[in-house]
A = this chain, B = another copy of it.
Amino acid sequence: MESKELKNFIFQGDKVFLPHISVDCVIFGFHDNQLKVLLLKWKEGPWCLPGGFVKHDESVDDSAIRVLYERTGLKNIFLQQFHTFGHPMREKGKKTSDPKSWISKRFISVGYYALVEFSKVKPRPDILSTDCKWWDVHKVPSLIYDHKQIMNKALEAIRFDLNDHPVGYNLLPGKFTMPELQRLYETILDEKLDRRNFQKKILVLDFLVKLKERKIGGAHKAPFLYTFDKKKYAQALKQGVKSSW
């Protein structure tokens, strides 16, 4: 069906893309109090991270932005480069129809993570895949190559970044409750936090705005709604919020 486009990609891709360099995106979402990660199903093969290649005149960051857009339809999302994976055997077991094709060669991959709002994503498979869907971070299937390691390194990175940087702007809806934000932190950290201390800690970081409204409709006492102060959030993201020395 798409064999012409696919063949063109395999045999002519090196005219468009740099050889030996790829990007992989670990795209996190948050749903049902679970951290989700977006995966693609290789044709007749295992699952993998959404990835792509770098056009000859494109920055690596822009390639990652493009991959994120093509799989989710989302733009202007905070994408964080966290590590570059460059072991020659990282793609062990790689099989391609044509071993002479540029795509069958060794690739060094630059890893990015993104945090996106689950409900806004329309997962779209790419040319090499048949399926694209969310997986619970604790239940991801076995992944191709070193993609499980890449995902784990992304998780490590985001947990680490959480110590100094705010999180949530792209993950939560515009208005959210303190318990919802706490669930997000707990899910990322995979750890239960004290409700009262969490609120104090997050409020002194000074990027939240408490609204007069409450979230109605749920069971139990109606919690207040909050939003991010966009300016202060961006500043905290850029500068970090604390240092030790």
A86 touches B106 (CB 8 A): no
A10 within 8 A of B: no
B189 touches A245 (CB 8 A): yes
- Count of chain copies: 2
Nearest CB of chain B from residue A231's CB, rounded to whole Å: 23
A245 touches B81 (CB 8 A): no
Q: What's the interface size class on A, roughly?
A: 35 or more
CA distance A162 to B86 in the complex (A): 25
B87 touches A59 (CB 8 A): yes
Within 8 Å by CB of A59, from B86, B110, B244, B245, lies B86
Within 8 Å by CB of A57, from B19, B88, B108, B160, lies B88
A83 within 8 A of B: yes
CA distance A115 to B148 in the complex (A): 31
Question: A242 contacts which chain B residues (CB < 8 A)?
Answer: 244
| Nearest 3 A/B pairs, CB to CB | A60-B86, A163-B244, A84-B84
17 residue pairs A–B, Cβ–Cβ below 8 Å = A19-B19, A19-B20, A21-B21, A21-B108, A54-B86, A57-B88, A58-B88, A59-B86, A60-B87, A60-B108, A61-B87, A160-B240, A160-B243, A162-B245, A163-B244, A163-B245, A185-B245
Point out residues on A near B: beta carbons under 8 Å.
18-21, 54, 56-61, 63, 81, 83-84, 86-88, 106, 108, 110, 160, 162-164, 185, 189, 191, 193, 201, 240, 242-245
